[in-house]
Amino acid sequence: MEYYQMRYVENIFELFKAAYDRDTPEYNKPWISSWPYQEHAGPKPENAEKNLPVDFFTFNGPKEFIPWFNWSLSPKPDYFPSSLVEPLIQKSNDFDSKLLKTFGLQYDLEKHRDAIARNNAQDYILMNAYPMPGPQVGKRILDFGAGNGRQANLLSQLEDEQLVYIGVDAIPKSYCLQHLYYSVTDRPFYDYVVDPTSTVLDDNSRGIYHLPTWRFDLIPDNYVDKIVTVQV
């Protein structure tokens, strides 16, 4: 496999668990890979009837996107002019439409528009709000606790070829959803749990790099320009 052509690997959950077990003796510590709140709360079987996530530690394929989308449907207040935010909302929805078609999923993207798509647009504006001279515009972005991978939506569409996006997570369901999400972008894509040798970060790196939190050591010191920590 040439890793710039990496696409969704169906056994991503098994690969994630194998990487977790393999790396735990040397790299993994409880504080870096746990989510105590959800671990204490436990599964919520009643969420199945509402098509919401029942837990965050299992993964049953692309259909997991639908409960995750439903989990994030509260309307987002707007504080940017519509002329700025609306084109980004449309681009975000267009990407998620492609995502749904890729995995054969049905979803009403109109209700998605004023929630997740608007959120994506707002986040993109905020992370680019500080004016910088062209040569100093940040191109290396660390997305810590990357949810379903949604920050890669607009970044992959709007940033130039210098983009290095690093998605980091340790929660099984979200890591697996991120893997799916990143696989649909048009960027080079490298996933540690699929091939640990593919995620070397250096000055020549370009594209999307996916790392479990316990391999944070693979990110060189002083490497990133921006850190995204939405809802972390």
Please name the residues in contact with 116: beta carbons below 8 A apart, sequence gap of 6 or more. Answer: 69, 72, 73, 92, 96, 150
Per-residue pLDDT 10s for the chain (232 aa) are 444 556 889 999 999 999 999 999 999 888 888 877 777 777 888 998 899 999 999 999 999 999 999 998 887 888 899 999 999 999 999 999 999 999 999 999 988 898 999 999 999 999 988 877 776 778 999 999 999 999 999 999 999 999 999 999 999 999 999 999 999 999 999 999 999 999 999 999 999 999 999 999 999 999 999 999 997 6
Backbone φ and ψ for 180, nearest 5 degrees, come out as: -60, -50
Domain housing 164: 3-228
pLDDT score, position 2: 46
* Model pTM score: 0.93
Q: Is residue 169 within 8 Å of residue 160, measured between CB atoms?
A: no
CA angle 76, 96, 35 (to 5 degrees): 65
Q: Tell me how far apart the alpha carbons of residues 5 and 26 are, in angstroms, rounded to a whole number.
A: 30
Whether residue 152 contacts residue 96, with contact meaning beta carbons closer than 8 Å, is answered with: no
Count: domains in the chain: 1
CA angle 194, 196, 197 (to 5 degrees): 120
pLDDT, position 6? 67
d(CA 120, CA 152): 9
For position 141, what pLDDT does the model report? 97
222, amino acid identity: N
Task: Determine the pLDDT at residue 5.
Answer: 54
d(C-alpha 57, C-alpha 2), whole Å: 30
3-state secondary structure of 73: coil
